[in-house]
Structure 1
């Protein structure tokens, strides 16, 4: 009988942990709060249980992070640090790189801030992708305009193309 008690205790502990995970999982907001970051203004679902998060620390200062759902809820996998622009930037600025997502997989990104109000849409092409591809754009509640695109492969040499409301070319720059 004394050997049966440890088994019941172990089963009780496992059941308690399982119930705790189901009832009180860590939300994305809690995971961001643990990092000391603001709430995400844009969440992009990547694959099951992983997302890209965009946070604005203050107007014009944007952070990109990746998160995945683990056993105890959401966890931050990686982040880019803050992206901001100088006043002398022409049109838009940004960065290209890679960010870790679930299971140490990398996702390659184009990510930046649009400062020219004439820019309505953006595309890109690379030495590997010669046909123009659309870039996602978004405006935050503070009025900061961002662009982003993701790809599983490295982008290579990128040329950014920006158009105005009349679909006229405004910028084309590497």
Structure 2
């Protein structure tokens, strides 16, 4: 996450992300799974802080709602991604037109490089981290822009993600 909304800072962050993706290439299955587990563990470790931050941003939100709809759903998505990632990364065979025999076709899934995630305010953790986890599982780097209407949660997301991922190296 870029530290400010200054366009030159965002452009510099994007260039660092692109350069790192081109330098390091797509992450391996092992790396992607490791990153997903680190993200899940960080959510579990900071769940009380996320509940407090969301409560501060909304004035009052039931702890159960935050645990179930923001944190629980995100953790379940991360588990689902982790469980299915090997199958999704596997090349898929495709049929070949008769004129191209004895050739063969297959689809190799490739990451885009750097993707942007802009999240809304109403469920600030799940609507920011579920797309982030999906992009990481796909092998991409992510620039995350949480809502400015949830400042406490945004700050906590920034500090938590800064602990996990360095924006100039592979996540």
TM-score normalised per structure 2: 0.23
The structure that is strand-richer by fraction is 1
Normalized per residue, the structure richer in helix is 2
State the structure with bigger RCO (CA 8 A, min sep 6), 1 or 2: 2
